[in-house]
């Protein structure tokens, strides 16, 4: 159904119509594009995706043209952009025709927001029964909060994420990136691929109901079970870990490092490299549960032992003794890290005008069916004529048999 991309890409031949903006939906669309799908992003003619204006910084073309904000480019790689006003009868009809040729629809309108345009799942499945329709909202299609708009910041607050983030006694903190949006995008791709498999087997698509609220609640992982088992709600612990010790940030003589001891053997090796035999022999520190129970004294003892160590010496000693440890990099330092360079996480993609736009590859390596990085994020409406010409050709051929 789609524009042909690399034949051995995992989702080559799959067409996606993206009626989504900001982050969660476009993040899912970008990963589907990386996996080889033909993702057609429908944008409003006046301004397009909101994130095109969410700057500075902005990407600048060779002629000084504003090519949209860095935020937009972080989540729209590999797509084709067309402009349609779906609020108009003509625009809505064109969107419906495009969807009739597609395998997947991605949308993040408010619950019921697309029904008035005939772009809801019930309206579309009549002409495309195999359609996988993924709706991403703040709170899902059901429940008392379903009509509300969803914002990552508020979702992090409501689900308890902020109650366990930050220093004890200080203002609750959100994560430094919109994790409920990003994780919802990832879970959406997982759900979409499962629904595609179902459609292959049965010939029937389905509507996927994805909610930022559900996702953020679900990804609290061990902290959810800490509460459900103990009945005690976890609280802010700064950089410390509720279930493991020592597993936090420690000061060296010239800065800070992370020491992340995960088992008793690692703890004994850590004490040995510190030259702190007494610490390793202390009955209160022999097992992880005991170390957690006595974490305040343990931290004080480790700080005293590390006072004369430099960051570099400590990290080198930990590496040589198989004790998990690491530096605290800023993002500039992260991109300069030799492991990041060796793994090729940073990419520069060249657009149709020769402008190089930086990007970060998806963290997936599939040797037999590699992901597909053939173009950066599109200019607003860059592919409108191309896509509509394809649609006209498809319509002229009539229904496939």
Q: What is the pLDDT of residue 7?
A: 77
Distance CA 177, CA 75 (A): 13
Q: Catalytic positions, please?
A: 181
Mean pLDDT along residues 85-111 = 97
- DSSP secondary structure of 2-13: -----TTSTTTT
Mean pLDDT along residues 66-82 = 97
The values of phi and psi at residue 373, to 5°, are -125, 85
Q: Is 46 exposed, middle or buried (0-12, 13-18, 19+ CB in 10 A)?
A: exposed
Q: What is the pLDDT of residue 5?
A: 56
pLDDT in tens, 231-287: 999 999 999 999 999 999 999 999 999 999 999 999 999 999 999 999 999 999 999
Q: What are the residues whose beta carbons fall under 8 Å from the beta carbon of 397, sequence distance 6 or more?
A: none
Report how far apart, in Å, the C-alpha atoms of 52 and of each of 100, 137, 333 are: 28, 21, 27
Q: Please report which confidence band the pLDDT of residue 220 belongs to, taking 50, 70 and 90 as the band edges.
A: very high
pLDDT in tens, 261-275: 999 999 999 999 999
Q: Please report which confidence band the pLDDT of residue 2 belongs to, taking 50, 70 and 90 as the band edges.
A: very low
**Greater model confidence, 316 or 394:** 316
For residue 176, pLDDT beyond 90: yes
- DSSP secondary structure of 338-397: HHHHHHT-EEEEE-TTS-EEEEE--S---TTS-------PPPTTTTHHHHHHHHHHHHHH
182: Cα separation from own chain's centroid? 3
Question: pTM for this structure?
Answer: 0.93
Q: Please report which confidence band the pLDDT of residue 6 belongs to, taking 50, 70 and 90 as the band edges.
A: low
* Cα 201–Cα 203–Cα 207 angle in degrees, nearest 5: 100
Q: What is the pLDDT of residue 397?
A: 78
Long-range contact set of residues 65-68: C-beta below 8 Å, sequence gap at least 24? 67/351, 67/355, 67/357, 67/379, 68/377, 68/379, 68/380
Q: Please report which confidence band the pLDDT of residue 182 belongs to, taking 50, 70 and 90 as the band edges.
A: very high
In eight-state DSSP terms, residue 129 is T
**Greater model confidence, 1 or 115:** 115
pLDDT in tens, 334-386: 999 999 999 999 999 999 889 999 999 999 999 999 999 999 999 999 999 99
Q: Please report which confidence band the pLDDT of residue 401 belongs to, taking 50, 70 and 90 as the band edges.
A: very low
For residue 35, pLDDT beyond 70: yes
Distance CA 311, CA 292 (A): 25
Mean pLDDT along residues 277-306 = 96
391: Cα separation from own chain's centroid? 31
Q: What is the pLDDT of residue 62?
A: 83
């Amino acid at each position: 159904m789609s524009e042909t991309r690399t034949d051995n890409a995992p989702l080559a031949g799959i067409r996606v119509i993206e009626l989504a903006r900001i982050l969660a939906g476009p993040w899912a669309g970008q990963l589907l594009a990386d996996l080889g799908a033909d993702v057609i992003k429908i944008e409003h003619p006046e301004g397009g995706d909101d994130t095109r204006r969410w700057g500075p910084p902005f990407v600048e073309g060779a002629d000084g043209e504003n090519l949209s904000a860095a935020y937009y480019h972080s989540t729209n790689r590999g797509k084709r952009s067309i402009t349609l006003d779906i609020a108009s009868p003509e625009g809505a009809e064109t969107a419906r025709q495009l969807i009739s040729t597609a395998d997947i629809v991605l949308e993040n309108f408010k619950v019921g927001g697309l029904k008035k345009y005939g772009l809801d799942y019930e309206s579309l499945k009549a002409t495309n029964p195999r359609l996988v329709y993924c709706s991403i909202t703040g709170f899902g299609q059901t429940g008392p909060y379903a009509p509300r708009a969803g914002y990552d910041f508020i979702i992090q607050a409501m689900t308890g994420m902020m109650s366990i983030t930050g220093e004890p006694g200080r203002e609750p903190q959100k994560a430094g990136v919109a994790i409920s949006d990003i994780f919802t995008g990832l879970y959406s791709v997982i759900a979409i691929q499962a629904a595609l498999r179902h459609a292959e087997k049965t010939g029937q698509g389905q509507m996927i109901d994805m909610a930022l609220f559900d996702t953020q609640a679900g990804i609290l992982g061990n902290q959810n079970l800490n509460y459900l088992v103990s009945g005690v709600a976890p609280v802010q612990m700064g950089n410390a870990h509720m279930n493991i010790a020592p597993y936090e940030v420690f000061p060296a003589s010239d800065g800070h490092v992370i020491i992340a001891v995960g088992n008793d053997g690692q703890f004994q090796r850590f004490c040995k490299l510190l030259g702190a035999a007494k610490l390793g022999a202390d009955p209160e520190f022999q097992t992880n549960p005991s170390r957690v129970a006595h974490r305040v004294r343990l931290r004080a003892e480790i700080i005293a032992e590390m006072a004369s160590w430099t960051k570099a010496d400590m990290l080198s000693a930990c590496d040589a003794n198989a004790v998990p440890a690491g530096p605290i990099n800023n993002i500039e330092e992260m991109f300069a890290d030799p492991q990041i360079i060796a793994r090729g996480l940073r990419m520069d993609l060249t657009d149709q005008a020769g402008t190089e736009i930086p990007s970060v590859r998806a963290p997936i390596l599939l040797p037999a069916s590699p992901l597909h990085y053939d173009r950066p994020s599109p200019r607003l409406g860059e592919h409108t004529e191309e896509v509509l010409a394809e649609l006209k050709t498809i319509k002229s051929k009539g229904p496939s048999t």
